[in-house]
Structure 1
Amino acid sequence: MRKRKVWASAMSGVLMLSLLAGCGGNNGNNAAGGKATAAPDATNSAAGTDSGSGENVNLRLYTYGTEEAYNWKHTLEAYKEVEPGVTVELVQLSEKGDTQEAFKKLDLEAASSAQMDILMFSDAAGYAQRVALGMAEPLDEFIAKDGYKVEEDYKVDTHLDGKVYALPGKFNPWYVLLNKNHLDEAGLAVPADWTWDEFADYAKKLTQGEGAQKRYGTYFHGPQGGGWMEFLKLKLENQPQNAEFLKADGTSNLDDPNFKSTLELRLRMEKEDQSSVPYSDMISQKLAYRTQFFNESASMLLIGSWMNTEIGGTDKVPLNFNMAVAPFPKNNAGDEKGLTPVTTDYVAVAAKSKNKEAAYKFVRWYTTEGQLVQGKNIPAWSKVTSDQVEGIIDTILSGTKNPEKVDKKTLVDTLVASKASAIIPPATYQSEVYKAINEEYEKMILGNQDVDTTVKNSQDRVNKIIDANKK
């Protein structure tokens, strides 16, 4: 068990938590129609019951999600039909969907006297940190009353120290977006199953030109500022167990050879093959992954499937080429297929809410039927079968400008085959671990230390963080 930070002591460092990053940026596109997809019944869902008091209840929902990406107007109007006595007021924390900006504002609001009822966290580390701050209410009594288990009803297990503080919304596995025009020019097929070595080979073959006009094979959008750490776990994330920097027992996992192998892959692709956009360019020029890919500055983009709402092109980011999708690469050809990082929204009831039961009812509805009403993502709700994925994708792509340019079969096949590694509940101090590893990586990629030194320094710093947080 890790030492919990109490509210009073933790709020002094609250802005540091905003180093956490989730999907970031603006997931912009037009709302995908207004129709609710037919949903299977939620087992004993509390959402359809009466709000309890007989009086009108106003709930405030704090989110980083934009209207374009989350279809909030339609979604909240649909809930009003389910619960006429409940009004859910949207508190938009970032107009552009920037998770770091949203976390900063959320932490400041939590330290104030503002009414807070429902909170949305964009990543596991941010969820764990804010549970440690006392911001989220345990949901176990509500869940027991409804008669379901989170690990059975959802594809993401949200337990922390044996308790549930949030339910998962979307199910966004990571995948590789491909410029199919570039692949065709190079005589490369769209991979249905591939390894990191093959990914690196593709990137090398797709790289063209020199200088300012150079087209890179791929672009890695991280790590940066202690966020986007998926890009330093590439060969950890596609194994069934121990896919994180920390193990389930809280000890360091940096002695796993796949951590060092990930560093070597990043170093080789940038310095030797020169097939990935330089890290220094990403940082100094504040590059955006959408721009790099959709402007055809990079032929492949490793990213989360929150991009489903955009891959057919939007008003802000048009699609001017044919697009295909490939699964997250494997370490070895014989490894299990489909294992990939998975992101979700952690939807919680605020500990300071005066309407916890009504807030929970919304959270349960939103993470079940509400996900299908929203029509923007594959839900984490396990009652949605793989047979329904194609219909959901049709709805999502219909809201883009050029869905005909997307190879839908490769997208659906990739999503259906995707699965998460065993979930490791994040430590409350996970952002400290991320920051330390990020800093050591920067020293390596900028030429200030070698791979072995980077691994050793990362191990030493992480072990000190672990020791400092033991009881």
Structure 2
Amino acid sequence: MKKSMLVLSGVLLTTTALAGCGSGKDNAAPGNNAGGAAGSANAPVTIKVQGWYTEPQGNWNATVEAYNKTHPNVKVVYESMSEKGDSQEGMKKLDLLAASGDQMDVVMYSSASDFAQRVGAGILEPLDDYLKKDNVVVKDEYKIDPAVNGKYYALPGKMIEWFVMLNKDKLDAAGLPVPTDWTWDDYAEYAKKLTKGDGPSKTYGSYFHTWKDYAQLLQNNDVDNSYIVKSDGSENIDNPKVRTSLELRNKMENVDKTSVPYYEVVSQKMNYRDVYYGGKSAMLATGNWMVGELALNGKFKTVFAPYPKADAKDPNGYTLVGADFMGVAASSKHKQEAYDFVRWYTTEGIQTQGLFFSGWKKADLNKNVDAILSTGKPEQSALIDKESLLNTLKVNKATKLVIPPTYALQQEKEFLNQVELYLTGKQDLDKTIQTAKTKIEDIKKSNK
């Protein structure tokens, strides 16, 4: 375990960081680790659910309370690992908890690569025996299959599908209809028509964030090969769709100047939410978690369009997918109770929570949308165009989820390092692709 923890991406081990997480033990309820044995024999056990969401982002207190009311044998407590609701900050603090031996029961990871790395580090408990006992066939129950080497270490919490959000006022001013079936070339043309002004007051048609998803725009909805590496760790960027994606970004950001330039995004530490809410960009390709946030923070009318296609001949609606991967900590002393909560949350619980879209196949999409919209103030929820949202969600189809090898985060980092050099004009595209390809393959070899 000590050896495997060392591979976690720069997570550990500074004394200041460890000190910053030292309060975890102080918050543990008396008798937790003994399953309530310190009190009466019938005292409920306390299990902790640990993620990065803040309370406004996640509505977790009401969610766990709903579970507690119907499960008197346990007391579920939610602990946020990030004051700002930042998933990467949350991952680092979860790793520190795992290293320090503090109580962990139910844990969440925000991406397949983050999840795979923690499986490799031995942080998560296999769930196969629990699932078999409950006669649960994951492929039949859930929209995505998070198996790692044939075993299950998590179930999908919120289901992430991507779409494009558009500022309806800016769309109307440009005389543009709400897209229902479009390509990335169409998107680029929309961005030209939606870009207005110059200098500090300039508003752009588009915004791309620093994540790897925005470096592989046309690859994201490739049905079978939507990730930068294949499941065996071999590179998947010597790929025409990766090349075209980077060419498109460079053209929009540095030639047409219709998308916020990469150097501005990085130098000004832009937050994609603020860019969209502030009207700096008329369009934002993003995930469906934003619907709940719009219901709470919307500033203007937002309409929705499907994720753009690489080619007009491609089928409409394919989108990159993801999830919150919710599992049971291998160190938990209450694994059955933790599993029971995971199973409840990934089926009924998300709908009770009312903020996210479910990965459970039996969830009712219309009720899911209504529950999310009802969480916001009526005047803000009214700013979400329900018709275009439902039309988009109904046309969405998931690409195959790629669970990468445990070292995939290292490969992502090297890929993005090369992408940055390209988008800032420091190297050409051929060198970018070739260098990234070599570095990705080198990481694979070094991890054999």
TM-score (normalizing by structure 2): 0.91
1:161 aligns with 2:149: yes
Q: Is the 8 A contact 1:17 1:126 kept in 2?
A: no
1:329 aligns with 2:323: no
**Alignment match of 2:70 (pick from 76, 79, 82):** 82
Q: Is the 8 A contact 1:15 1:107 kept in 2?
A: no
Q: Is the 8 A contact 2:112 2:402 kept in 1?
A: no
Q: Is the 8 A contact 2:122 2:330 kept in 1?
A: yes
> What SS does the aligned partner of 1:380 have?
coil
Paired position in structure 1 for 2:2: 8
Paired position in structure 2 for 1:45: none
1:438 aligns with 2:416: yes
Q: Is the 8 A contact 1:17 1:129 kept in 2?
A: no
Q: How many matched pairs?
A: 418
Once residues 170 and 340 of structure 2 are traced to their aligned partners in structure 1, the CA distance between those partners, rounded to angstroms, is: 48
Once residues 430 and 395 of structure 1 are traced to their aligned partners in structure 2, the CA distance between those partners, rounded to angstroms, is: 36
| TM superposition shift of 1:17 | 5.0
| TM superposition shift of 1:398 | 2.3
1:230 aligns with 2:206: no
Paired position in structure 1 for 2:107: 119
**Alignment match of 2:343 (pick from 341, 364, 372):** 364
Once residues 9 and 247 of structure 2 are traced to their aligned partners in structure 1, the CA distance between those partners, rounded to angstroms, is: 33
Give a deviation string over 1:367-419, Cα, whole Å, max 9, x none.
111111111112001111xxx32222122122224222221110111112212
Once residues 366 and 352 of structure 1 are traced to their aligned partners in structure 2, the CA distance between those partners, rounded to angstroms, is: 20
Q: CA 1:250 to 1:12, structure 2 compared with 1: closer, same or farther past 3 Å? A: closer
* 1:201-240 to 2 correspondences below 5 Å: 201-222=189-210, 228-240=211-223
Q: CA 1:306 to 1:82, structure 2 compared with 1: closer, same or farther past 3 Å? A: same
> What SS does the aligned partner of 1:422 have?
coil
> What SS does the aligned partner of 1:111 have?
helix
**Alignment match of 2:355 (pick from 356, 376, 379):** 376
Q: Is the 8 A contact 2:231 2:405 kept in 1?
A: no
**Alignment match of 1:263 (pick from 210, 233, 246):** 246
Once residues 12 and 248 of structure 1 are traced to their aligned partners in structure 2, the CA distance between those partners, rounded to angstroms, is: 22
Give a deviation string over 1:433-461, Cα, whole Å, max 9, x none.
11000000111111111111111111111
Paired position in structure 2 for 1:147: 135
Once residues 352 and 312 of structure 1 are traced to their aligned partners in structure 2, the CA distance between those partners, rounded to angstroms, is: 37
| TM superposition shift of 1:82 | 2.1
Return 91-100 or 346-355, whichever deviates more. 91-100
Once residues 357 and 398 of structure 1 are traced to their aligned partners in structure 2, the CA distance between those partners, rounded to angstroms, is: 33
Once residues 296 and 231 of structure 2 are traced to their aligned partners in structure 1, the CA distance between those partners, rounded to angstroms, is: 40
Q: Is the 8 A contact 1:242 1:248 kept in 2?
A: no
User: What letter is aligned with 1:243?
Assistant: S
User: What letter is aligned with 2:248?
Assistant: L
Gaps of 5+ in 1: 1-6, 19-52, 223-227
* 1:379-398 to 2 correspondences below 5 Å: 379-384=358-363, 388-398=364-374
Once residues 8 and 135 of structure 2 are traced to their aligned partners in structure 1, the CA distance between those partners, rounded to angstroms, is: 36
Give a deviation string over 1:86-129, Cα, whole Å, max 9, x none.
00122210122111111111111111121111111111111111
User: What letter is aligned with 1:70?
Assistant: G
Q: CA 1:210 to 1:270, structure 2 compared with 1: closer, same or farther past 3 Å? A: same
* 1:297-312 to 2 correspondences below 5 Å: 297-312=280-295
Q: Is the 8 A contact 1:247 1:424 kept in 2?
A: yes
User: What letter is aligned with 1:14?
Assistant: L
| TM superposition shift of 1:341 | 1.5
1:246 aligns with 2:239: no
Q: Is the 8 A contact 1:64 1:102 kept in 2?
A: yes
Once residues 17 and 466 of structure 1 are traced to their aligned partners in structure 2, the CA distance between those partners, rounded to angstroms, is: 20
Return 55-64 or 8-17, whichever deviates more. 8-17
Q: Is the 8 A contact 2:8 2:117 kept in 1?
A: no
| TM superposition shift of 1:54 | 5.4
Once residues 292 and 372 of structure 1 are traced to their aligned partners in structure 2, the CA distance between those partners, rounded to angstroms, is: 29
* 1:272-283 to 2 correspondences below 5 Å: 272-283=255-266
User: What letter is aligned with 2:309?
Assistant: K
User: What letter is aligned with 1:446?
Assistant: T
Once residues 414 and 440 of structure 2 are traced to their aligned partners in structure 1, the CA distance between those partners, rounded to angstroms, is: 7
Once residues 69 and 114 of structure 1 are traced to their aligned partners in structure 2, the CA distance between those partners, rounded to angstroms, is: 25
Q: Is the 8 A contact 1:17 1:431 kept in 2?
A: no
Q: Is the 8 A contact 1:367 1:381 kept in 2?
A: yes
Give a deviation string over 1:252-302, Cα, whole Å, max 9, x none.
111221011111111111111100101011111001111111111110011
Give a deviation string over 1:329-378, Cα, whole Å, max 9, x none.
00111211111122211111000011111111111011111111111112
Q: Is the 8 A contact 2:321 2:401 kept in 1?
A: no
Paired position in structure 2 for 1:96: 84
Gaps of 5+ in 2: 13-40
User: What letter is aligned with 1:359?
Assistant: A
Once residues 56 and 404 of structure 1 are traced to their aligned partners in structure 2, the CA distance between those partners, rounded to angstroms, is: 42
User: What letter is aligned with 2:181?
Assistant: D
Q: Is the 8 A contact 2:9 2:410 kept in 1?
A: no
Paired position in structure 1 for 2:430: 452
> What SS does the aligned partner of 1:60 have?
strand
| TM superposition shift of 1:75 | 1.0
Once residues 296 and 47 of structure 2 are traced to their aligned partners in structure 1, the CA distance between those partners, rounded to angstroms, is: 34
Once residues 390 and 380 of structure 1 are traced to their aligned partners in structure 2, the CA distance between those partners, rounded to angstroms, is: 14
Paired position in structure 2 for 1:37: none
Q: Is the 8 A contact 1:172 1:342 kept in 2?
A: yes
| TM superposition shift of 1:221 | 1.2
Once residues 13 and 165 of structure 1 are traced to their aligned partners in structure 2, the CA distance between those partners, rounded to angstroms, is: 19
* 1:57-76 to 2 correspondences below 5 Å: 57-76=45-64
Paired position in structure 2 for 1:404: 382
1:348 aligns with 2:339: no
User: What letter is aligned with 1:9?
Assistant: K
Paired position in structure 2 for 1:287: 270
Percentage of identical aligned residues:
43
The answer to which structure, 1 or 2, has the higher relative contact order (CA under 8 A, 6+ apart) is 1
Once residues 93 and 161 of structure 2 are traced to their aligned partners in structure 1, the CA distance between those partners, rounded to angstroms, is: 27
